[in-house]
Amino acid sequence: GAVVSQHPSWVICKSGTSVKIECRSLDFQATTMFWYRQFPKQSLMLMATSNEGSKATYEQGVEKDKFLINHASLTLSTLTVTSAHPEDSSFYICSAGDRERGYNEQFFGPGTRLTVL
């Protein structure tokens, strides 16, 4: 089946530092990757849609200069949280679309727990 990995699975950092999260599709090519954020007891909220080789599309209210997304290859997208603050502490989940299966099936990574002190 389609497998998506994320690294790291958890990270703790000091306020003001930047953190990079990787999302990889292990056994398929993902033309589109999605980044979600989930606060405790809340829904997953889409942050941005990342297309290989082009700029990401950000959802309303998500600061593109704070959450930098790079999708340089068909198997890797990265999310960098710049100058992280405690309010950025959350669970970040990526998903990837398999072009062969069609756009509307997404495969989710295991998530990254970010804690900003």
Partner 1 sequence: KQEVTQIPAALSVPEGENLVLNCSFTDSAIYNLQWFRQDPGKGLTSLLLIQSSQREQTSGRLNASLDKSSGRSTLYIAASQPGDSATYLCAVERSQLTFGKGTKLSVIP
Binding interface with partner 1 (CB under 8 A): 4, 6, 34, 41-46, 49, 91, 93, 95, 104-111, 113
| Residue placing its CB nearer to partner 1 in the complex, 2 or 82 | 2
Nearest approach in angstroms of CB 49 to partner 1 is 7
Dihedral over Cα of 109, 70, 46, 16: its sign: positive
- Pairing mode, strands 67-73 and 76-81: antiparallel
Nearest approach in angstroms of CB 90 to partner 1 is 12
Instruction: Mark 33-44 as b/e (b = at least 16 C-beta within 10 Å).
Output: bbbbbeeeeeeb
| Residue placing its CB nearer to partner 1 in the complex, 43 or 54 | 43
* SS3 label, residue 115: strand
Nearest approach in angstroms of CB 106 to partner 1 is 7
Nearest approach in angstroms of CB 109 to partner 1 is 5
Side-chain half-sphere CA neighbours of 115 within 13 A: 6
d(CA 35, CA 92): 7
| Residue placing its CB nearer to partner 1 in the complex, 7 or 82 | 7
| Residue placing its CB nearer to partner 1 in the complex, 55 or 101 | 101
